[in-house]
Structure 1
Amino acid sequence: MSIENVVVVGGGLAAAKATETLREEGYGGGLTVVGHERHRPYERPPLSKDYLRGEVGRESIFPLDAAWYADHDVELLTGVTAAGLDPAAHRVALDDGRSLAYDRLLLATGSAPRTPPVPGTDLDGVHSLRTVDDSERLAAALDTSSRTGAGRLAIVGDGWIGLEVAASARSKGLDVSVVGRGAHPLERVLGPEMGELYGQLHAERGVHLHRRAEATAITGVRGRATGVALADGTHVEADVVLVAVGAAPNVGTAAAAGLGLDSATGGIVASATLQTTDPDVFVAGDVASVPSARYGRSIRVEHWATALNQGPHAARAMLGAAEPYRELPYFFSDQYDVGMEYLGFVAGPEAYDELVVSGSVADHELVAFWVSDGRVEAAMAVNVWERMDDVKALILRDGPVERAELEGFTS
């Protein structure tokens, strides 16, 4: 089958990099990008960090400048939603009544913030953070709170987004409270030891951590949020409330079209070449559930590097490349003066036997290794730089790694 029309659905980094790669690989046919936001595809990590703090401008978040799309004969449709997919007819229906024909389709539809089932999430002053518009609204609310309000922010959720926003808000002088369900922030991701590293980091910076806490309502007066009510009777007062309790992959269009879904990960079933159960539809980014040879299971990862790597890989696969996707999951986070890089995958607290630390937790300069049956499953470098290649070699080693080698990693 000749490829004359490619449609990319998505407004994030995976969509941008796939589009760029298609042209770089010599594809000269029709190419359309469909994004439901009014912006061209952009990167999301700055939205909780330097962009939220106003340290960088909006142009810094776009991988491709505005002229690139026209210069490379790419039709960019923004503010339009892909409302339906007909794989048999090879057409994508848009919510403005149009439909697009395709020979190959990429779904890079990302995720949407979850909303907890508590009253008050619709009050003025309650925010979520997923889009650039969300970030700008939140930044404006924080500035207003600092200037004319009590300067208080309450964050429901103690994951990466919540903690990065907490760090950004503290740097702007706000009083910040974080409500988390676990004993330690990030416990579900990092386990208790490394989760507590971040707990102490934020506590030392003046963040009020509410641990093992359940938000039962967002309170308000005259339609405006005044704080968060907890199950133990505590009321966390705030001018601004951020709800950051995770995200759900946008798989509705794929499900309605009959594409296979992975019940374990919640994503769209993909092959090692990022092909869905329909041979002409591919996936990348948050929605892609991709088999991993290293971990012996399918993995779905909602992080920047996944979009960065899977977008180009899917583009080449759409053009006929058969190389399997082998990249290990990677992400990073910057909070205050602590930067970290994480490589690998751990399914949960029961998926590893021990945590081995090289370096100093107290000084925030270390590499932590999650180990199962002697094999390194994942590692996190905290303020230790340019060691990811060495970490990757340990994760990919076929067999156990001596504990002494891990403990001496930073020596």
Structure 2
Amino acid sequence: MPAKDLQGITTDRADLIVIGNGIAGYIAALETRQYAPGARILIVTKQNHPTINTPALKQFGAGQLELEHLLAYSAGTERQLGIGIIHQRAVTLEPSRHRIWLDDGRAIQYQNLLLATGARATPLPQDLPGRSFDGVITLHTLGDYLDLRRRLATVSSAVVIGGGYHAAETAILLRHHRLKVTWLIRGRGLLPRQLDTTASDLLLRQIRRQGIDIRLESEIAGVVGRLGVAAGVITLANEFIPCELVVAAIGTQADTALAERTSIAVKSGHGLRVNERLQTLARDIYAAGAVAAVRDPQTSQFDARGQWYFAVQQGRLAAAVIAGVPVSSSAAMGAVGNFWHATQFDKLHVVVAGAPMLSERDHPDNETFTNGSAAFYRRIVVRHGHLVGYLSVSADPPAGLTIKRLIDERINIEEIKRQLLTEDFDLRSFFTERRLHALGTGEISAVPQPVADITRAHPILDQQAG
């Protein structure tokens, strides 16, 4: 008899197996169901909770939201759509046999496989003294934040380690709970691949105003403890900082374990290399979300992107490609095109698009323009009249996704490049006027057009039609 899950859905084979129930995998399963109502779809996940809105975890940690507010979809949405779910770890992948093995010994055949295994928090180095003491934590999963909330009532001071957005947001979260917070940053500023010194200094000044002790070029040498419980940290400068909580916010690593030792191109910790259709090198295997390493159009490097926006867009793209549904060029570029990220630190909004830290050293035709004040900064990189990088730190958020579109669609910005450096330029109005002018003059080339369809006919829909 074929194996069945708790919903009575056959689980020894499936048209689509999704590994992981983060937002990329979950959306891919839901949208594939819309495209192929009769397909057998199965989600395999080691998580014991429904898909959650991970950007809201910081608010949950701050006590501003409760558990029920974290749900990305109503509990049981997949069951209502006839999508099976197995709460097991997938331990072995056999691409040549189109088969996965679970840790309970079951084998499941797939027609298509989507790897949406996400990422893991990067821990402190294995050889760091005291790294295993109670009170040394990472913040990445729901379980991590539940643990934090239980601890907050008993701690009064914390050290945060890391030099990125996550570390900054964590320091602000802990300060919100009135902890004494010391933030150690190994480098001279924040995120040197995305922010220049001016932008970094502007953000750090804003964060310091909240009472956070920020120490640049400071690195942890070890954790000091009493009876196995963290009591402080020692820096490489031999400075002791007392604390009851040590938070490692030093980044994430793509969870590539299942694909290792297969034909899929894996750079351990950095993701599974995919093309513009999210296909890996193994036939009928796709990857989406924080485990998928996509090619950056500006740098030609392959990197995984952990942002919620890309996870959502890649989940949608994966569903369309697997089902053979046409995808517009703008939708594809939204999922795998130029980098984009937006966040907020207190009163300052940060938007990064493309590669704003490129310079003339990277390409002789790169032009860099900047403008700023005590509470505002903007930097753009232009090449041959096209925007290739954008950075903004300001009280009023710019139209971030519209900026991304300027880069993705290679729209000539020569006439507005100086205006892009100002706080009050309305980019959306520029787009509207541009389209109206194109329609009035018949210059249809002035309006971005979709490129050739990136999808093809696929057996899931062929099978449904037959």
CA distance in 1, matches of 2:362, 2:239: 35
Deviations 1:247-288 (A, max 9, x none): 11111211222212258x932121210011112100001111
> What's the counterpart of residue 41 of structure 1?
51
CA distance in 1, matches of 2:370, 2:356: 16
Q: Percent identity?
A: 24
* Contact residue 380 and residue 421 of structure 2 kept, 8 A: no
> What's the counterpart of residue 69 of structure 1?
78
Structure 1 residues 16 and 45: CA distance shift in structure 2, 3 A: same
> What's the counterpart of residue 171 of structure 2?
166
> What's the counterpart of residue 249 of structure 2?
244
> What's the counterpart of residue 50 of structure 1?
59
Structure 1 residues 347 and 405: CA distance shift in structure 2, 3 A: closer
* Contact residue 367 and residue 384 of structure 1 kept, 8 A: no
Structure 1 residues 347 and 130: CA distance shift in structure 2, 3 A: farther
Q: 1:15 aligns with which of 22, 25, 29?
A: 25
* 1:9-408 equivalent positions in 2, closer than 5 A: 9-47=19-57, 49-78=58-87, 80-117=88-125, 118-145=128-155, 151-261=156-266, 266-293=270-297, 296-321=300-325, 323=327, 325-327=332-334, 328-345=338-355, 356-358=369-371, 361-363=373-375, 365-371=376-382, 375-381=386-392, 382-385=394-397, 387-395=399-407, 396-398=409-411, 401=414, 403-408=417-422
CA distance in 2, matches of 1:386, 1:403: 15
Moved beyond 4 Å, runs of 4+: 292-297, 346-355, 370-375
* Contact residue 357 and residue 406 of structure 1 kept, 8 A: no
- Paired AA for residue 221 in structure 1: R
CA distance in 2, matches of 1:374, 1:209: 39
SS at match of 1:32: strand
Structure 1 residues 93 and 383: CA distance shift in structure 2, 3 A: farther
Tell me how far 1:99 sits from its aligned partner.
Answer: 2.1
TM-score under structure 2 length normalisation: 0.79
CA distance in 1, matches of 2:92, 2:259: 8
Q: Larger C-alpha radius of gyration, 1 or 2?
A: 2
How many residue pairs get matched? 399
CA distance in 2, matches of 1:304, 1:408: 28
Tell me how far 1:291 sits from its aligned partner.
Answer: 3.3
CA distance in 1, matches of 2:411, 2:319: 30
* Contact residue 351 and residue 372 of structure 1 kept, 8 A: no
- Paired AA for residue 90 in structure 1: H
Ranges in structure 1 where 5+ consecutive residues have no aligned partner: 146-150
- Paired AA for residue 245 in structure 1: I
> What's the counterpart of residue 148 of structure 1?
none
* Contact residue 36 and residue 323 of structure 2 kept, 8 A: no
CA distance in 2, matches of 1:220, 1:188: 35
* Contact residue 260 and residue 276 of structure 1 kept, 8 A: yes
CA distance in 1, matches of 2:201, 2:320: 42
Deviations 1:280-323 (A, max 9, x none): 10000111122355655544322111101001101111112464
